[in-house]
Structures are given as C-alpha cells and as structure tokens.
C-alpha cells in the first residue's frame, strides 16, 4: 500500500519515532523512507539522536524548511495507489472516497516567496561576457559546433555548418550561460533542446516552465522596433502554463529597450522564472481542488438522489401495501355480505309461495338450496369452508 503525506505530516512522523520503526510501519525500507524525505526536503534526525534522547541528554530538532518554489507539498511513499495518511488511531489510513476536499492553503504569500527567492540569489554573482568556462549545457552546444566546424573544414560541404557563430547567437549563448548559472544556484534544473537550441525547459520544483530567448522580431513579429533599429534586439518570453480552457493566456516578456539591454535585467528575470514555477504549482493545486470538489459534490448529489429515490420507493411500497390490505379488507367484507345475501335469498325462496323453478332457482329446490348455501360458505371469510377453499387454491 502507498501513502500520501504532507511534508509536515512526514516530518512529524520521522521525528517522533526512529526511521526504522516508521519504515516498518509503512512497509518500506529505511533507504526508501530516507529518499522520500530527501525528495520532500525533510530533515532526518542525525545519527545518535535517539540514543542521546533516551539517555536524557539535550537534543535539538531540526526545523522543517519552507517548501521550495514550485515544489509539491505532497510526498508519496510505498507502492500502489497512494492514500492520504491519517493520524487518527481509529482511521484505516485511507481518505473518505467522496468527502469534500478543503481548498489549498499556503504558509506564504507569493510576495513573501518572491522576497525569499530574491534573498537566495548569489550576492557575488558576476555576469560573464564571454563563452570561456560557460555553463555545461552551453559548453556542450559549443563543442557540437566545433565538431561541425571541423567536419566542414575537412569535407568542404556546408550542409551542417556551425549554428552559433553569428554575433547574435554568441550573445544569446552568453546570456543563457549566465541565466542557467544563476538558476542552478536557485535549485532549478535547466534543459535545452531543439536543432537551434530554441526549446528551453526549466524544472522549478515539480513544475516545468517553458521559455524562449530569440530575436525580438521572431517573438513579436508585429512589434514596432523602437528607434527604427535593426532586428538584432534580443527578447525573452515565458508562457505560463494553464489548466483550464477558458483561462486567459498569460505570457511574461522582457526585451532590449530604452532602459537597457536584457542582460541588466538578468536577476529580475531569474526571480520571475522561479516565481512562475510557484504560480503554476498553485494554479495546478487550485484546478485539482476545484475538479475534486466538483467530482465529490456531484457524487454526493447522486448518492443523495439515490437515497431519496429509495426512500420514496419504500414509502410508496408501504402505501401500496396498505392499499392492498384495505382492498383485501373490503373484498372480505363484500364477500361476507354477498354470502349473507345468498343465505337470505335461499330462505326467502323457501318461504315464498310464488317461487318458480327456473326463475327463482334451478332444478330441484333442495339440491339447489344445498348448492347455494355451499357457495355462500365458500365465499364467506367467516366460514371454515372459506379457509379450506383458500388453502386448496393456494396449493
């Protein structure tokens, strides 16, 4: 079985009992639990912590660090579909399937997180204006360009000529090298793809942020270039992910402009990129909350409707049973009355001097009267023969 913890839940758990005990209770190995804690940036008690604690020595609990920008507050442990961990002793550890979820709550505002990101920037970061000792991803692109250059020099063919020799491409790679070095210092994983290295993906916590760095005229074809300058202006664009079809499209944009080049905005850009990861995480959480809330409310509504329909059906069944009972009662009364009418009629025929065969009775009067009285006994619910006849019919 798998469990889904919040960071706070798992932190409290591993600081209340030794890791080996917690791991055994969850059905995982010590190593697996330790890895899960590292994924969630959850500190573990140091070696010797429990021995010192049991010996009565003073020990200090490490504080749970704030959740990283864009990082998930959820930590999954174990195999199988993870179920929300419950602290209650009477709970089986699984979350109620259709309970209404609570809206996401965050310990910090976006403004506080932005401030924390900015404070995490390297204070002594220096912008490097050359490609010597560039960031590893950029260095790899340069090595690939060297291979193309050497191959072209040997063969004389230019079908696969170097791609990053132009003045703009050199500037672009220098900018990306500095941006990546700054982002790596903020625990952001950078990836660059595509034949022209135009697809840039940043992993901020659990979020992927897509950005492009290119010519201004490529990113904004209809944008009027200030001062009538040539198209060598550089721009950076970020597309903020969205989870709803009706969400407005949001893009962040920076470019060379009257206030200066893109390079002088590097620190602000890095902060905005990391903050975008946090914003995307919160948008995803809100979407998940609204979806789960809608699903739970719809399910609860359908369960309620089914319960009300069952109650109405039960009431109708009781009402129909009562109507049937009343109907049987009236039928019994009618049968008794009819039996009495038959008996009275037989007596009147016997006493009447004017009763005629084939008009008042059929055939021999005595035989007819015995038959008529037997019929009365058969239909009369108060007569024993009625009960005998009913049992015979049921059999």
Write the secondary structure of the chain as one string of H (helix), E (strand) and C (coil). CEEEEEHHHHHHHHHHCCHHHHHHHHCCCHHHHHHHHHHCCCCCCCCCHHHHHHCCCCCCCCCCCCCCCCCCCEEEECCCCEEECCCCCCCCCCCCCCCCCCCCCCCCCHHHHHHHHHHHCCCCCCCCCCCCCCCHHHHHHHHHHHHHHHHHHHHCCCCCCCCCCCHHHHHHHHHHHHHHHHHHCCCCEEEEECCCCCEEEEEECCEEEEEEEEEHHHHCCCCCCHHHCCCCCEEEEEEECCCCCCCCCEEEEEECECCECHHHHHHHHHHHHHHHHHHHHHHHHHHHHHHHHHHHHHHHHHHHHHHHHHHHHHHHHHHHHHHHHHHHHHHHHHHHHHHHHHHHHHHHHHHCCCCCECCCECCCHHHHHHHHHHHHHHHCCCCHHHHHHHHHHHC
- Same domain for 135 and 270, yes or no, is yes
Res 226 pLDDT > 70: no
Burial label, 4 (beta-carbon count in 10 A; 0-12, 13-18, 19+)? middle
Please choose, from the candidates 229, 199, 193, 195, the residue with its C-alpha nearest in 3D space to the C-alpha of residue 214. 199
Res 357 pLDDT > 60: yes
pLDDT per position as a tens digit, 291-305: 999 999 999 999 999
- Same domain for 88 and 181, yes or no, is no
Q: Is residue 123 part of a domain?
A: yes
**Hunting for tokens 């990082």 — which residue is that?**
71
Res 92 pLDDT > 50: no
Tell me which of 95, 130, 152 is where a domain ends.
95
Q: Is residue 242 part of a domain?
A: yes
Give yes or no for a contact between 125 and 266, defined as CB atoms under 8 angstroms apart: no
pLDDT band of residue 20 (cuts 50, 70, 90) is: very high
248 or 60: which leads in pLDDT: 60
Tell me which of 65, 95, 125 is where a domain ends.
95
- Same domain for 233 and 187, yes or no, is yes
- Same domain for 258 and 340, yes or no, is no
Res 233 pLDDT > 80: yes
What does the pLDDT read at residue 327?
95
Domain that holds residue 329: 324-394
Any idea which of 33-37, 168-172, 227-231 has the lowest mean pLDDT? 227-231
Compute the distance between CA of residue 63 and CA of residue 39 in angstroms, rounded to an integer. Answer: 16
The Cα diameter of the chain in Å comes to: 144
- Same domain for 342 and 219, yes or no, is no
392 or 99: which leads in pLDDT: 99
Mean of the pLDDT values across residues 343-350? 92
What does the pLDDT read at residue 106?
94
What does the pLDDT read at residue 95?
44
- Same domain for 134 and 271, yes or no, is yes
193 or 85: which leads in pLDDT: 193
Q: How far is CA 203 from the centre of its chain?
A: 21
Per the structure, the count of domains in the chain is: 3
Res 90 pLDDT > 50: no
Q: In this structure, what token pair is assigned to residue 56?
A: 């009565």
Mean pLDDT of the chain: 89
- Same domain for 162 and 208, yes or no, is yes
Q: Is residue 285 part of a domain?
A: yes
pLDDT per position as a tens digit, 52-78: 999 999 999 999 999 999 999 999 998
- Same domain for 75 and 120, yes or no, is no
pLDDT band of residue 224 (cuts 50, 70, 90) is: low
Q: In this structure, what token pair is assigned to residue 286?
A: 């809100």
Tell me which of 61, 95, 129 is where a domain ends.
95
pLDDT band of residue 199 (cuts 50, 70, 90) is: very high
Q: Is residue 104 part of a domain?
A: no
Compute the distance between CA of residue 365 and CA of residue 44 in angstroms, rounded to an integer. Answer: 110
Strands 234-240 and 207-215: antiparallel
- Same domain for 37 and 124, yes or no, is no
Mean of the pLDDT values across residues 258-281? 94
- Same domain for 220 and 126, yes or no, is yes
Q: Is residue 191 part of a domain?
A: yes
Q: Is residue 319 part of a domain?
A: no
Q: Is residue 355 part of a domain?
A: yes
Mean of the pLDDT values across residues 155-165? 83
- Same domain for 125 and 83, yes or no, is no
- Residue 301 CB partners (closer than 8 Å, separation 6+): none
pLDDT per position as a tens digit, 315-340: 999 999 999 999 999 999 999 999 99
Q: Is residue 307 part of a domain?
A: no
257 or 177: which leads in pLDDT: 177
pLDDT band of residue 159 (cuts 50, 70, 90) is: confident
* Residue 340, number of CB atoms within 10 A of its CB: 13
Compute the distance between CA of residue 86 and CA of residue 26 in angstroms, rounded to an integer. Answer: 12
pLDDT band of residue 94 (cuts 50, 70, 90) is: very low
- Same domain for 159 and 195, yes or no, is yes
134 or 153: which leads in pLDDT: 134
């Amino acid at each position: 079985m798998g469990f889904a913890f919040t960071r706070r839940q798992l932190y409290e758990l591993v600081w209340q009992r030794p890791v080996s005990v917690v791991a055994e209770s969850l059905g995982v190995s010590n190593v697996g639990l330790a890895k899960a804690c590292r994924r969630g940036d959850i500190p573990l008690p140091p070696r010797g912590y429990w021995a010192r604690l049991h010996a009565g020595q003073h020990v200090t609990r490490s504080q749970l660090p704030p959740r990283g920008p864009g990082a998930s507050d959820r930590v999954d442990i174990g195999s199988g579909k993870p179920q929300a961990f419950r602290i209650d002793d009477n709970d089986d550890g699984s979350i109620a399937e259709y309970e209404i979820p609570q809206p996401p709550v965050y310990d910090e505002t976006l403004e506080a997180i932005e401030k924390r990101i900015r404070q995490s920037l390297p204070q002594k970061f220096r912008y490097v204006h050359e490609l010597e000792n560039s960031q590893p991803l950029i260095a790899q692109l340069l090595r690939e360009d060297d291979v193309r250059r050497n191959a072209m020099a040997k063969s004389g063919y230019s079908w696969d000529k170097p791609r990053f020799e132009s003045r703009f491409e050199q500037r672009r790679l220098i900018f990306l090298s500095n941006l990546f070095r700054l982002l790596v210092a903020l625990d952001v994983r950078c990836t660059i793809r595509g034949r022209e290295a135009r697809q840039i993906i940043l992993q901020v916590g659990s979020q992927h942020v897509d950005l492009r760095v290119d010519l201004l005229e490529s990113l904004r074809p209809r944008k009027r270039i200030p001062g009538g300058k040539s198209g060598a202006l550089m721009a950076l664009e970020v597309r903020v992910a969205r989870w709803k079809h009706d969400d407005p499209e949001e893009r962040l944009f920076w470019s060379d402009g009257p206030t200066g080049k893109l390079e002088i905005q590097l620190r602000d850009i890095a902060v905005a990129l990391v903050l975008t990861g946090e914003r995307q995480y919160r948008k995803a959480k809100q979407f998940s909350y609204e979806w789960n809330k809608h699903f739970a409310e719809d399910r609860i509504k359908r369960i309620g409707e089914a319960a009300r329909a069952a109650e109405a059906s039960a009431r109708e069944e009781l009402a129909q049973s009562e109507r049937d009972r009343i109907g049987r009662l009236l039928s019994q009364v009618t049968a008794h009355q009819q039996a009495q009418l038959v008996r009275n009629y037989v007596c009147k025929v016997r006493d009447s001097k004017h009763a005629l065969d084939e008009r008042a009775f059929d055939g021999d009067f005595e035989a007819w009267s015995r038959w008529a009285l037997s019929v009365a006994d058969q239909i009369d619910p108060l007569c024993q023969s009625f009960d005998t006849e009913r049992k015979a019919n049921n059999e």
